[in-house]
Amino acid sequence: STMPPLLSAIANAGRHGVLAKSAVVMERLGRVDAIAMDKTGTLTEGTPRLTDVRPLPGGGLDADALLRLAASAEHPSEHPLARAVVDAARERGLALAPAGDFTAAPGRGVTATVEGLRVEAGAPARLLTSDQHADVVSELEESGRTAVAVLCDGRPVGVLGVADRLRPDAAATVAALTRLTGRAPALLTGDNERAARHVAARVGITDVRAGLLPEEKVAAVRAWEAEGRRVLVVGDGVNDAPALAAAHCGVAMGRAGSDLALETADAVVVRDELAAVPAVVALSRAARRLVV
Catalytic residues: 38
Q: Which stretch binds ligand ADP (CB under 6 A): 14-22, 51-59, 183-191, 249-257?
A: 183-191
Query: In the complex, which residues of this chain contact Mg ion (CB under 5 A)?
Result: 38, 40-41, 236-237
Report CA torsion sign: 196, 197, 203, 208. Answer: positive
**Contact flag: residue 156 with ligand ADP (CB under 6 A):** no
Out of 146, 258, 264, 284, name the contact with ligand ADP by CB under 6 A: 146
Identify which of residues 190 and 242 has a Cβ nearer to ligand ADP in the complex. 190
Nearest by Cα to 281 from 149, 168, 139, 185: 185
Q: Are 249 and 266 in contact (CB under 8 A)?
A: yes
Residue 188's contacts (CB-CB under 8 Å, 6 or more residues apart) are 36, 37, 38, 209, 212, 217, 220, 221, 233, 243
3-state secondary structure of 19: strand
Q: Apex CA 49: angle with CA 47 and CA 51, to 5°? A: 160
Considering beta carbons, is residue 30 or 41 the nearer one to ligand ADP? 41
Q: How many CA atoms lie less than 13 Å away from 249 in the CB half-sphere?
A: 27
Q: Does 108 bind ligand ADP (CB under 6 A)?
A: yes
Is residue 122 close enough to count as binding ligand ADP by CB under 6 A? yes
Q: Is residue 18 classed as helix, strand or coil in its secondary structure?
A: strand
Q: Please state the separation of Cα 91 from the chain's center in Å.
A: 24
Select 99 or 279, whichever has its Cβ closest to ligand ADP. 99
**Which of 40, 72, 173, 284 is in the footprint of ligand ADP by CB under 6 A?**
40
Least Cα distance to 180 among 282, 249, 273 occurs for: 282
CA distances from 153 to 11, 127, 133, 187 (A): 54, 12, 17, 34
Which one among 16, 28, 39, 229 touches ligand ADP, defined by CB under 6 A?
A: 39
128 forms part of the interface with ligand ADP (CB under 6 A):
no
> Contact with ligand ADP (CB under 6 A): which of 86, 123, 170, 232?
123
Single out the segment in contact with ligand ADP by CB under 6 A; choices: 115-123, 135-143, 151-159, 251-259: 115-123
Partner that binds at residue 52, options Mg ion, ligand ADP, none, CB closer than 5 to 8 Å by kind: none
Q: Which does 148 bind (CB under 5 to 8 A by kind): Mg ion, ligand ADP, none?
A: ligand ADP
Complex with ligand ADP: residue 181 or 258, whichever CB lies closer? 258
Residue 38 or residue 266: which is nearer to ligand ADP going by CB? Answer: 38
C-alpha triplet 130, 57, 164: angle, nearest 5°: 65
The answer to the question of residue 82 lying near ligand ADP (CB under 6 A) is yes
Surface-to-core class of residue 1, CB atoms within 10 Å of its CB (0-12 exposed, 13-18 middle, 19+ buried): exposed
72 backbone dihedrals φ, ψ, rounded to 5°: -60, -45
196-255 positions binding ligand ADP, by CB under 6 A:
237, 239
Query: Can residue 52 be called a binding residue for ligand ADP (CB under 6 A)?
Result: no
Residues near ligand ADP, by CB under 6 A: 38-41, 74, 77, 79, 81-82, 104, 107-110, 121-123, 146, 148, 189-191, 237, 239
